[in-house]
Amino acid sequence: RRLLLINGPNLNLLGTREPEVYGTETLADVERLATEAAAALGFELRCVQSNHEGVLIDAIHEARTDCAGIAINPGGLTHTSVALRDALSGVALPIAEVHLSNVHRREEFRHHSYVSGVADVIVIGAGIHGYPFAIAQLARLAQACR
Ligand code: DQA
């Protein structure tokens, strides 16, 4: 059994990008934590990061045939992308949306998410610890819909 972890635009810069907002841990740290959490629950984790919306949409479509759930931090696309939302609702898998920062304490334009309306679980403001939590929730949902 496999889960998919997607990190969207600019999350490759984690650790150096606005560390006061996003912390000093890197994307590699995030993917390691999430992979360990998945393994502990008997799941393999496929990790994808891209700065390109179409690459993310393709990864979501591919997950349809071989993954049991998707954890996604869509980065800035959270607030702009109907296409990403449509891809997520189109695959009909359990979805967990993750944001490192508390987007509701930040600028107004970060308060709306196109993804939240198709997510089963939303984890906001827990930093990198939100990822293993999201993975655990997906594992639970994936068992429930077997
Ligand atoms: C983010 C929040 C978004 O508003 C922002 O564009 C990001 C990161 C977060 O993890 O807190 O790139 O998704």
* Ligand 1 centre distance from Cα of residue 38 (Å): 23
Containing structural domain, residue 101: 2-144
Domain count, the chain: 1
Question: What's the 56 CA to ligand 1 centre distance in angstroms?
Answer: 16
Q: Which of 106, 101, 144, 98 is nearest to 123 (CA)?
A: 98
Q: pTM of the predicted model, to two decimals?
A: 0.97
Residue of 52, 61, 99, 112 with catalytic role: 99
Ligand 1 atom at minimum distance from 10 CA: 12
22 is catalytic: yes
CATH of the domain at 135: 3.40.50.9100
| pLDDT digits 0-9 by tens, 68-121 | 999 999 999 999 999 999 999 999 999 999 999 999 999 999 999 999 999 999
Per-residue pLDDT reduced to its tens digit, 25-44: 999 999 999 999 999 999 99
Sheet strand arrangement including 44-49: 44-49, 2-7, 70-73, 95-99, 121-124
